[in-house]
Amino acid sequence: MKVVKIQTYKNSLIFSFVEQEKLDTNLTIITTRINLEELVFSAQYILKNKKLVIKFLEEIILKNKITKITIADYELFDIVIDLISKLKIITHLQLRDKTVLTYNDCLKIINIKHLKKLTCYSLPLFMLEKLDNNNLDVKLYSEEFYLSNFFIDNKFNNYADIYYAKTIIIDHDMKDEDYNDFDTFLEINKYLKEIYLYYYDKEIISKLIDKLYEVNIKNIKFKIYQQEDDSKVLNDIGVYLNKNKVKKRNYTFKIIYSKEYISKNLFKQLTFTNLKMCALIMISILLVGISFKIYYDYKSNQEIDDIYDMLDIMEDIEVEEGNENQQMDAAEQQKVVEALTEDYEKLLAINSDTVGWIKVNNTNVNYPVVQTTDNEYYLNYNFYKKRNYNGWVFMDYRNSIEEINDNTIIYGHNGTMFGSLKNTLKERWYTNSNNHIISFNTLYGQLRYKIFAIYVTTPDFDYLVNNYKSKTNFENFLAEVKQRSIYNFNVDVTSNDKILTLSTCAENGAKRIVIHAKLI
């Protein structure tokens, strides 16, 4: 029979499976072998007598000054992890065989707070950052990270990529490892809205629906890219739409036709009358859309003007680089404080979420800033908490204005609110030193930030971390964004500084315009 052998070697306790014809688990026999360098138990005995086995192990560990446990066979992982959680002196876990740890394995290891070091063959790449953030030193035998096609196609390189992903793509046939990683994705992710299928297979969609349904994820849009005859896909979609799971969770399906398919099929079926009708409909929809945009832009600008008219001082904030260190006398300071206090009382009376006022020179950015409990609400609501597609300028819900974080993040739509930030990408703007200072007055003080980086990036670059776990991580991030900057601002910035980040969309959401400035 297969039994568990526990051996001591130097400062290690080694767990492995061995074959033995017969195992006597009589308590007397086991107790008499406690001083030997080798113990043998059945797995069932360990599970049923865990407290007693832990006492045996504690005596061996203390006697031999052991701090490390080695698992020779991955099958023992769950049993040994359960034991280690009670053995506080153990700080190092090693796995010998060539097993790639799973996401759930990593979570179990993270939950053992006294572990400080992990040695194994490999693990999911996106978990390295999370393990590091929990002060766990990780050493891998393999330099190769094993990722499924699902993770590779979606470029999931770290935990944040998975957590914030709103869309995923299926571009290959799904194997067992792909479905396992999809399960892991669903455990971590909070924002999924759309699934793009460049590779279509009925079984794949059925399995995805089952998994989404099982974890109660709702309102998912399936977008299927059509390249050949659509009869099979259309028939399949008809079947999906009639399923109770699809109806209960409100899953929808849309076929996106390739240019080749459209040119070969759809235009053949359209008459001249059809084309005219389609053109009229499209023009009508376009005109309605433009009308709504003009109306909401007008309303947004009117609301901003109303706020300016109400206040006496905030809209007049102007900061030049040469004045950044200029000191005011006590009387001037008191006058500014009283004016700001009065203005904030007016703003708070309208919106209790007000946390400050931001000004960026030679742009339209000169607005009160709000903050709520998520980063979604003010994407669709204005300062008066009325629905408006322009939204409002808001601070990341994780940030604090009382205790300034490493990175204070402020968002705004690339329309009425932050649309003029595109000016910062022009040479005549970023080479003008008068534009390099951003003012962000809060309820707790007048803050000035000096720009050190401006760049355009894709959403997969993670610049939205409000506090860094280590100075090294922060310094690496600062070096990265300075390298990405379109202009060298010659500003020294270190991990001891506090920074401000302004973020808005560009190119219809495909890119981000990002500005970083340090507190001065």
Element (DSSP H or E) covering residue 340: helix 330-350
Model pLDDT for residues 326-363, shown as the tens digit of each residue: 444 555 544 444 545 567 888 898 899 999 999 999 99
The owner of tokens 């009358």 is 273
The C-alpha atoms of residue 41 and residue 79 are separated, in whole angstroms, by 12
Q: What is the pLDDT, as a whole number, of residue 287?
A: 73
**Which residues, listed in sequence order, are joined to residue 2 by a DSSP beta bridge?**
19
The owner of tokens 């742009």 is 363
Return the amino acid letter for 307. Answer: I
Sign for the pseudo-dihedral over CA of 319, 354, 309, 300? positive
What are the distances in angstroms from CA 204 to CA 132, 208, 209, 239, 240?
35, 6, 9, 14, 12
The C-alpha atoms of residue 424 and residue 429 are separated, in whole angstroms, by 6
- Residues 290-519: name the CATH superfamily: Sortase (2.40.260.10)
The C-alpha atoms of residue 100 and residue 148 are separated, in whole angstroms, by 12
Nearest to 440, CA basis, from 504, 368, 346, 505: 368
Q: What is the pLDDT, as a whole number, of residue 68?
A: 95
DSSP 216: T
DSSP string, 458-516: -TTS----SS-SSHHHHHHHHHHHHHH-SS-------TTS-EEEEEEEETTTTEEEEEE
Q: Write the CB contacts of 6 (distance below 8 Å, at least 6 apart in sequence).
A: 13, 14, 15, 38, 39, 40, 41, 57
Model pLDDT for residues 392-420, shown as the tens digit of each residue: 999 999 999 998 999 999 999 988 889 99
Q: Are strands 92-95 and 117-120 parallel, antiparallel or unpaired?
A: parallel
State yes or no: is 505 an active-site residue: yes
The residue annotated as part of the active site, out of 106, 120, 278, 505, is 505
What are the distances in angstroms from CA 366 to CA 260, 404, 500, 512?
48, 21, 16, 20
* Burial (CB count <10 Å: 0-12, 13-18, 19+), residue 475: middle
Q: Are strands 194-197 and 221-226 parallel, antiparallel or unpaired?
A: parallel
Q: Taking the mean position of all CA atoms in its chain, how far away is CA 8?
A: 43
* Burial (CB count <10 Å: 0-12, 13-18, 19+), residue 8: middle
Would you kindly state where each structural domain of the chain is located, as residue ranges? Answer: 2-140, 149-269, 290-519
Whether the Cβ atoms of residue 115 and residue 92 lie closer than 8 Å to each other: yes
The C-alpha atoms of residue 162 and residue 191 are separated, in whole angstroms, by 9
Sign for the pseudo-dihedral over CA of 143, 146, 152, 156? negative
- HSE of 301, CA atoms in CB hemisphere, 13 A: 10
Q: What is the pLDDT, as a whole number, of residue 318?
A: 44
Q: For the chain, which residues score pLDDT lower than 50?
A: 25-35, 313-328, 333-337, 339
Q: What is the pLDDT, as a whole number, of residue 11?
A: 85
Angle at 46 between CA 139 and CA 112, to 5 degrees: 35
Three-class DSSP labels, 22-79: CCCCCHHHHHHCCCCCEEEECHHHHHHCHHHHHHHHHHHHHHHCCCEEEECCHHHHHH
460 φ, ψ to 5°? -80, -10
